[in-house]
A and B are shown apart, each in its own frame.
Chain A
Amino acid sequence: MTHQEFLDQVDAYALGALEPTEARVLEQHLAGEGPHPLCEAALARARETVATLAADLRPVSPPPRVWEGIASAIARGQEPASRAPELPSTPAPAREAVRALRPIPPWTYSIAAAAVVILVLGGINVRDARRSAAQASAAAAECAKDLAEARIDVLRKDDALQLLQEPGTQLVSLKPSPPGPGPSAPGTGVVLFNPRGRALFVGKSFQAQATRDYELWIIRDGRPIAAGLLPPGPDGRVFSEVRPDVLTGGRPAAFAVSVEPKGGERDAPKGPIILTGAVAAP
């Protein structure tokens, strides 16, 4: 790599926008026979600019357990190494040290809190059986509902993650249609599309309507094909598997969401199209 080639790519390097193999070429250039005053100056300038981009953030104090984890890892013998290689482009051993110190996930606290609630309600039960029985029952029902919803949520997320990891899956962002001023779409969404015949719609901020349904459409060869209704959950989120039979006739050009009378339309959208997104060419 020449100095000029380094200078051409140093901004992307400092930004972390190079692929790992490209980044390694730049690192090898700097580590090679020097000196590289121009290259180093350009890198310093680019890094300072990148660092400045964080100035827009309000600083946030990390919880004490973060420092405690660092101190603990160091106490286990991770001494400073003065001749370590340049910054890694792959995960470094420090991650292994930290993994054991991983902070307790927030949901653990929720479960603990639910357990405390149940225990507290149990205590009240001893003192006032009649009142607490109703409270305990309501709390248990609420907990069961929350847990069921959480479990469904996890399953849906797992489903989406699995699809995302399949080769060829692409993310199609659906944007309000038409763009620009005018009534905004009631929700936003994305389709995880795999050309081997699977697609999943994930949306948020959809409001259930008594007389209307949201309907997903595939646009192929200039024609709309009904791909299923999109029923929102109580929190306005939508996870909906696209009907596999409509994915078998070739690659869609786009996905769209319309608002239709209850039950949806079969042949073509008659209500307003609120979201559209083009499928990228393979």
Chain B
Amino acid sequence: MTRPAEDRTVLDAVRRGDQRSLEELYRRHSPRLYALLLRMLRETADAEEVLQETFIDAWRRAGEYSASRGSVEAWLITIARSRAIDRIRNRGARLRLVKQSEQLATADAPQPEPPDVHAQTRLRKALGTLPPEQRRALELAYWDGLSQSEISRETGDPLGTVKTRVRLGLQRLAELLAG
């Protein structure tokens, strides 16, 4: 059984109320989600809290997962990013200020695990082929949680241009990663 298929089986059990399966789902996916949240939120306490919210959400909303809309991993990442973006937007511009003045409490950041080198190399190669402005737009949206309107204000580029960059950038990335 492939990993995505195993994930679906585990999530089916979660849907039936099996807490051990939720723990298994957590064991499988929490390290990557936690790394993602640390990178987005830059604060250990916030990352831990959003990680908790993500799995409580997954527990409560397992029934709405639809395989036709993506893998379980993509679903969990969507939940985690959605909550992280909520938090970033609630902070207003605080994160950007804090990032720029390096006032962030990352000193106690936990030790990372060995990376998936193959996936990293593939992604970096794909990102490297994107035009810089498309890559920048994707990065601002992905890591900083900026909306297209906010990217437009941040970069000074027209909103329509930003929308085109986000769409073309992600589509190009999908083609490169699939190829």
Question: Which residues on A sit within 8 Å (CB–CB) of B113?
Answer: 58-61
B41 contacts the other chain (Cβ, under 8 Å)? no
A62 to B112 CA separation, bound complex (whole angstroms): 10
Stretch from A15-23, A128-136, A178-186, A250-258 forming part of the interface with B = A15-23
Is the pair B60, A80 in contact by a Cβ cutoff of 8 Å?
yes
Question: With A50-B74, A55-B122, A56-B124 in contact, do A66 and B35 touch (Cβ < 8 Å)?
Answer: no
A88 contacts the other chain (Cβ, under 8 Å)? yes
B2 contacts the other chain (Cβ, under 8 Å)? no
A113 to B59 CA separation, bound complex (whole angstroms): 37
Is the pair A101, B52 in contact by a Cβ cutoff of 8 Å?
yes
Is the pair B100, A188 in contact by a Cβ cutoff of 8 Å?
yes
Is the pair B167, A8 in contact by a Cβ cutoff of 8 Å?
yes
What sequence of 0s and 1s flags, for each residue 95-135 of chain A, a beta carbon within 8 Å of any chain B beta carbon?
10111011101110000000000000000000000000000
Q: Could you say which of B17, B39, B93 contacts A171, with CB atoms under 8 Å apart?
A: B93
Is the pair B120, A66 in contact by a Cβ cutoff of 8 Å?
no
B1 contacts the other chain (Cβ, under 8 Å)? no
A79 contacts the other chain (Cβ, under 8 Å)? yes
Question: Which residues on B sit within 8 Å (CB–CB) of A81?
Answer: 60-61, 63
Is the pair A66, B51 in contact by a Cβ cutoff of 8 Å?
yes
Closest to A83 in B: B63
Q: Could you say which of B17, B142, B149, B171 contacts A53, with CB atoms under 8 Å apart?
A: B142
A164 to B142 CA separation, bound complex (whole angstroms): 22
Is the pair A17, B141 in contact by a Cβ cutoff of 8 Å?
yes
Q: Could you say which of A8, A46, A91, A190 contacts B101, with CB atoms under 8 Å apart?
A: A190
Question: With A80-B63, A86-B64, A94-B57 in contact, do A15 and B82 touch (Cβ < 8 Å)?
Answer: no
Question: Which residues on A sit within 8 Å (CB–CB) of B111?
Answer: 60-61
A78 to B23 CA separation, bound complex (whole angstroms): 15
Question: Which residues on B sit within 8 Å (CB–CB) of A11?
Answer: 166-167, 170-171
B42 contacts the other chain (Cβ, under 8 Å)? no
Is the pair A17, B39 in contact by a Cβ cutoff of 8 Å?
no
Is the pair A106, B60 in contact by a Cβ cutoff of 8 Å?
no
Question: With A55-B123, A86-B64 in contact, do A66 and B30 touch (Cβ < 8 Å)?
Answer: yes
Question: With A49-B177, A60-B31 in contact, do A15 and B55 touch (Cβ < 8 Å)?
Answer: no
Q: Could you say which of A51, A62, A73 contacts B31, with CB atoms under 8 Å apart?
A: A62
Question: Which residues on B sit within 8 Å (CB–CB) of A12?
Answer: 141, 148, 163, 166-167
Q: Could you say which of A19, A60, A98, A164 contacts B110, with CB atoms under 8 Å apart?
A: A60
Q: Could you say which of A17, A103, A204 contacts B148, with CB atoms under 8 Å apart?
A: A17
Question: Which residues on A sit within 8 Å (CB–CB) of B82?
Answer: 16, 87-89
**A residues 22-68 in Cβ contact with B at 8 Å:** 37, 40-41, 43-63, 65-67
Is the pair B94, A49 in contact by a Cβ cutoff of 8 Å?
no
A74 to B14 CA separation, bound complex (whole angstroms): 12
- What's the minimum C-beta distance from B82 to chain A, rounded to whole angstroms? 5
Question: Which residues on B sit within 8 Å (CB–CB) of A61?
Answer: 30-31, 34, 110-111, 113
Number of residue pairs A-B, CB distance < 8 angstroms = 269
Question: With A15-B166, A57-B32, A173-B100 in contact, do A63 and B48 touch (Cβ < 8 Å)?
Answer: yes
- What's the minimum C-beta distance from A220 to chain B, rounded to whole angstroms? 19
**B residues 51-91 in Cβ contact with A at 8 Å:** 51-53, 55-57, 59-64, 66, 68-71, 73-75, 77-79, 81-83, 85-86, 90
A160 contacts the other chain (Cβ, under 8 Å)? yes
Question: Which residues on B sit within 8 Å (CB–CB) of A102?
Answer: 45, 49
Q: Could you say which of A56, A62, A84, A90 contacts B86, with CB atoms under 8 Å apart?
A: A90
- What's the minimum C-beta distance from A268 to chain B, rounded to whole angstroms? 27
B114 contacts the other chain (Cβ, under 8 Å)? yes
Is the pair B142, A15 in contact by a Cβ cutoff of 8 Å?
yes
Is the pair B97, A171 in contact by a Cβ cutoff of 8 Å?
yes
CB-defined A-B contacts under 8 Å, sample of 10 = A11-B171, A17-B147, A18-B148, A48-B71, A66-B48, A70-B22, A74-B59, A80-B60, A106-B105, A171-B96
Top-4 shortest CB links A-B? A82-B63, A59-B31, A58-B112, A55-B119
- Given contacts A40-B69, A80-B61, could you give 10 more A-B pairs where the C-beta distance is less than 8 Å? A46-B174, A59-B35, A62-B48, A70-B59, A81-B61, A89-B86, A91-B83, A103-B49, A105-B45, A237-B101
